[in-house]
Amino acid sequence: MGTDSRKEESEVCVDINRPSHGRTNIESYSARALRASEIDWTAQPIMGGLQWQSNRGGSIMETHEPVNNQSDVAASADRDNLAKEGIRKFNETVTAAFRNQDAAAMASLWTENARVLPPGQEMITGRAAVQAFWQSGFDHGAYDLVLESPEIKSLGDGMAYEIGRNIVRVRTVDGSSIDVPGKSLCIFRREGDGVWRADVDIFNSIKS
């Protein structure tokens, strides 16, 4: 009797790893497990699922189902915070460079192969083209910039997106100033020097 119970227990341990219809099906083996109903099982989290140990020892089964992992939640929060801090610094530096009319300093905060999709124009590719774009804006009277970040979210290690709002102030030929409000979606990349740079940037104006 003792031998048979151990045999049944062992069979449950082997069969439990076999998926049924795309999932681990403990219920399909419940009848056999009940024949050894005196067995108590305890579960321990493992990579990708749970590991079960019987009170008789020596028999272990694994169910490969996702388990909640608080460390994953904490890591995700850390990545979000890192992205928010990096993009905050980006916005501060870009704003200062804009007010200084420094197109080269601004372009340095876009990646070498950045793609920018400005309103009413073809896509701009590359840092040199980004610098020329901002210089053209300064030449046409743009002199001040206000940036806001309603949403920033990590996309994984070293990548994040920002949904933004902005106001560009432009001085007209008669010396007056107009505010041009806009919105944006930008994909950021954290590069080897630790700086978060804009990699794909799309923005357009909001009609008032």
My answer on whether 107 and 134 are in the same domain is yes
Identify the pLDDT of residue 207: 85
**What are the distances in angstroms from CA 180 to CA 55, 92, 95, 109, 145?**
71, 19, 15, 22, 10
My answer on whether 53 and 85 are in the same domain is no
Question: What is the domain count for the chain?
Answer: 2
My answer on whether 55 and 79 are in the same domain is no
Structure tokens at 194: 């630790």
Identify the pLDDT of residue 73: 75
Identify the pLDDT of residue 34: 40
Q: Which of 21, 41, 63 is the last residue of a domain?
A: 63
Distance, CA of 39 to CA of 152 (rounded, Å):
50
- The closest of 86, 56, 57 to 152, measured between CA atoms, is 86
Structure tokens at 65: 């189902």
The set of residues, in sequence order, having a beta carbon less than 8 Å from that of 79 and lying 6+ positions away, is: 154, 156, 157, 160
- Report residue 28: phi and psi, to 5°: -65, -15
CATH code, domain with 151: 3.10.450.50
Distance, CA of 139 to CA of 133 (rounded, Å):
10
Kindly report the average pLDDT of the chain as a whole number.
80
Looking at per-residue pLDDT, the higher value among 116 and 14 belongs to 116
My answer on whether 44 and 92 are in the same domain is no
Report yes or no: 158 and 190 within 8 Å, Cβ to Cβ: yes
Three-state secondary structure call for residue 160: strand
* Pairing state between β 142-156 and 159-171: antiparallel
What amino acid is encoded at 54 in this protein?
Answer: S
Beta bridge partners of 15: none
Identify the pLDDT of residue 85: 97
My answer on whether 124 and 144 are in the same domain is yes
My answer on whether 43 and 75 are in the same domain is no
Q: Which of 38, 63, 88 is the last residue of a domain?
A: 63
Domain of 7, in residue numbers? 2-63
My answer on whether 77 and 55 are in the same domain is no
Report yes or no: 207 and 180 within 8 Å, Cβ to Cβ: no
List, for residues 98-115, the tens digit of each pLDDT value: 999 999 999 999 999 999
Looking at per-residue pLDDT, the higher value among 201 and 15 belongs to 201
Identify the pLDDT of residue 71: 72
Structure tokens at 108: 């340095």
My answer on whether 75 and 124 are in the same domain is yes
Identify the pLDDT of residue 76: 83
My answer on whether 8 and 100 are in the same domain is no
My answer on whether 121 and 176 are in the same domain is yes
Q: How confident is the model at residue 75 (pLDDT cuts 50, 70, 90)?
A: confident
Distance, CA of 196 to CA of 88 (rounded, Å):
9
My answer on whether 57 and 105 are in the same domain is no
Identify the pLDDT of residue 167: 97
Q: Which of 35, 63, 91 is the last residue of a domain?
A: 63
Report yes or no: 182 and 203 within 8 Å, Cβ to Cβ: yes
What amino acid is encoded at 10 in this protein?
Answer: S
Three-state secondary structure call for residue 151: strand
My answer on whether 194 and 100 are in the same domain is yes
Three-state secondary structure call for residue 34: helix
